[in-house]
Structures are given as C-alpha cells and as structure tokens.
C-alpha cells in the first residue's frame, strides 16, 4: 500500500507540474504534449519491455482517430462515445494483426509495421476516399455536442480531461510494470528460453503487450480527433513513422516518465527551432546520437539518479534534524 502511494504520488506530481505550466505555456502546446506522450508511452513499453521496435505506430494512431471521426461525422455527436469508438477500433485492429506480427522479431517486426502504416495511409487517401474524403479529410468540429461536467469542445476543459486520461494511462503502465505480466514482458525480451521453462508462453505475453500498447496508441488518436475536430490521411503518413521511436529514445527507453519528458523536449525543439531553422530535425538527430553514445539512458534516464540522490539527501537531512531535536 505504501509503495503504491509513492508511485501514485510521483505520477500526480509530474502531471501537477504540467498542469501548473499551463499558466505559463500556450494551451495548444500543453495539449499537444499530453496527447503525444500518450501516443509515445505505448511505443516505449514495446521497445523497453518487450524489445519490439515499431515504425508502424501511425497506423494504430489512425485506427483510433478514424474510429472516432467516423462516429462523429456519420453517426453521433457525443465526444465521449466517439473516443470509446476509436479505442474499440484500435483494440479490434490490434487484435487482428497482432497474432501475425508478434511472431516476427527484430527488423522484420519493424518493417511489417511500417508496411502497415503505408497501407493504411493509401487506404484512407485513395481506397476509402468516398468515406474518408481523401486528402481533404473529415471535418466534424461543429458536430461535437457540448457535454456536462467537461465540455470537450473547449480547449481548456479538454486539457483537464486529457490530464485525467494521462494520469490513468501512466497508472496502468506503472501497475503493469510491477506485475508478473510486466516481469514476463521483460523476460521475453532478455531470455525467452527461461520464460518458457517457467511455463509461460512467449507468444501470448508478446501478443497481450502488443494489444495493450497499440490500444493506448489508438486512444491517443481518438483524443487527437476530438481535440482537432478533423482527421486526414496525413496522421498515418510514413514520414512521421519514426516520431514515437525518436521521442522514446530521447526521453529514455522503458522508463515511466521518459515519454513525458521526451515529448516535452521534442515538442519544444520543434516549436522553437522550426521558427528559425527549416531542417530542425537535424538538431534532434545530433541530440539522439549524443544520447546513444552517452549510454542510451535518455533525458529522464540520466536525470532520475540525480533526482533520487537529491531527494535522499533531503530525507537524510530531515532525519538528522529530527534526531538532534
């Protein structure tokens, strides 16, 4: 119980600081950080815990976004139901392709997911253009109905909702990390034979991890759809396939707060550098090379030990002060 309180306190503190930054930073920037960090945490879980590197995350993002968009454009007006429709669409699609994809490892897994992203992009742009409106996309901002308690049509109230969703997502992944399932995910990455010897199925562990991670990605797509009020095939463009992987490495692979820190850094670099330099991605590339050469810990992975020492010294000082009294 005490340990659970400690890690919940850390999650609440992290997102509490982000909520406080809302008063100093532009609201669109903070909303983008929240949604993109949810988008990234699934990729971080796959790469850090299971050893799957995926360049097909835009496809699962599109499943969630278009699931929400189809509902809000053709069926109903409630954004909450639309988000649930997007998550359900992502879950179903991940459950269909997962049994095939998780049998592959290493480069083959990365490439087959990238191929899926290209296929989804082509389908949304050309094959299903009658329903997706092609490059023009689906526009449904005016269709979104106002809802009680939190009206997701307003950016300020959407921020509160997205923060609550992010806290729940981080709590879920922290819980998974501390369970037997989380240990099995790590074991299937490090030592498949030992996991099989213990009686667990590597295939089932990978499949469940794949579905959980990509359903989370679909959730991010659904949030994007409601926030922007429109969806176009550009959301699944192969040119942006490396973004979640880059942010994962930038923040720290497999760390709990790496996706959040990496998203903050990546979004800030993009928004600031792009105003002065056209090829701002070049500087992000240099930072990634430096991180890889420095030990692959990422920004959060490098900062976490220093923060732990700082807090431990503070606790030791308080304890000594109490003894003297």
What is the pLDDT at residue 24?
86
**Per-residue pLDDT at 93 exceeds 80:** yes
218, 86 in Cβ contact below 8 A? yes
Report yes or no on 118 lying in a domain. Answer: yes
In angstroms, the CA 44 to CA 254 distance is 5
**Per-residue pLDDT at 322 exceeds 60:** no
Scored b (16 or more CB within 10 A) or e, 26-35 reads eeeebbbbbb
**Per-residue pLDDT at 156 exceeds 60:** yes
Give the number of domains in the chain: 1
Mean pLDDT of the chain: 86
- At 311, the pLDDT band (50, 70, 90 cuts) reads low
Percentage above 90 pLDDT, the chain: 47
Report yes or no on 166 lying in a domain. Answer: yes
92, 247 in Cβ contact below 8 A? no
Report yes or no on 135 lying in a domain. Answer: yes
Report yes or no on 255 lying in a domain. Answer: no
Report yes or no on 227 lying in a domain. Answer: yes
Find the domain containing 152 and state its range. 2-239
Cα angle value 237/239/244 (rounded, 5°): 90
Cα angle value 213/56/136 (rounded, 5°): 110
Report yes or no on 306 lying in a domain. Answer: no
Q: How many CB atoms lie within 10 A of CB 244?
A: 31
What is the pLDDT at residue 292?
67
- At 288, the pLDDT band (50, 70, 90 cuts) reads confident
Report yes or no on 37 lying in a domain. Answer: yes
Q: Choose between 289 and 28: higher pLDDT.
A: 28
Helix (H, G, I), strand (E, B) or coil at 231: strand
Q: Choose between 285 and 264: higher pLDDT.
A: 264
Report yes or no on 274 lying in a domain. Answer: no
4, 211 in Cβ contact below 8 A? no
Q: How many CB atoms lie within 10 A of CB 60?
A: 35
């Amino acid at each position: 119980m005490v340990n659970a309180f400690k890690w919940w306190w850390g999650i609440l503190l992290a997102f509490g600081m982000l909520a406080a930054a809302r008063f100093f930073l532009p609201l669109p920037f903070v909303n983008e950080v929240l949604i993109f960090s949810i988008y990234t945490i699934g990729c971080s879980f796959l790469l850090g815990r299971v050893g799957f590197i995926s360049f097909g995350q835009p496809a699962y993002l599109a499943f969630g976004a278009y699931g929400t968009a189809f509902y809000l454009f053709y069926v109903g007006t409630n954004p909450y139901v639309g988000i649930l429709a997007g998550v359900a669409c992502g879950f179903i699609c991940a459950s269909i392709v997962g049994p095939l994809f998780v049998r592959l490892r290493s480069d083959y897994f990365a490439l087959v997911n990238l191929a899926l992203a290209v296929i989804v992009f082509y389908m949304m742009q050309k094959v299903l253009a009658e329903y997706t409106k092609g490059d023009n996309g689906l526009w449904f901002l005016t269709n979104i109905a106002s809802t009680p308690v939190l009206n997701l049509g307003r950016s300020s109230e959407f921020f509160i909702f997205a923060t609550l969703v992010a806290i729940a997502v981080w709590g879920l992944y922290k819980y998974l990390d501390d369970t037997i399932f989380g240990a099995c995910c790590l074991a299937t990455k490090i030592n498949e034979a030992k996991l099989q010897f213990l009686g667990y199925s590597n295939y089932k562990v990978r499949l469940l991890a794949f579905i959980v991670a990509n359903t989370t990605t679909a959730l991010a797509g659904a949030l994007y759809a409601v926030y922007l009020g429109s969806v176009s095939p550009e959301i699944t463009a192969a040119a942006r396939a490396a973004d979640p992987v880059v942010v994962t490495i930038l923040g720290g692979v497999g760390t709990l707060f790496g996706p959040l820190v990496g998203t903050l850094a990546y979004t800030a670099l993009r928004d600031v550098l792009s105003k002065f330099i056209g090829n701002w991605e070049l500087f992000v590339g240099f930072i990634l090379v430096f991180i890889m050469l420095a030990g692959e810990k990422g920004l959060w992975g490098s900062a976490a030990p220093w923060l732990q020492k700082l807090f431990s010294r503070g606790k030791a000082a308080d304890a000594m002060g109490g003894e003297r009294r």
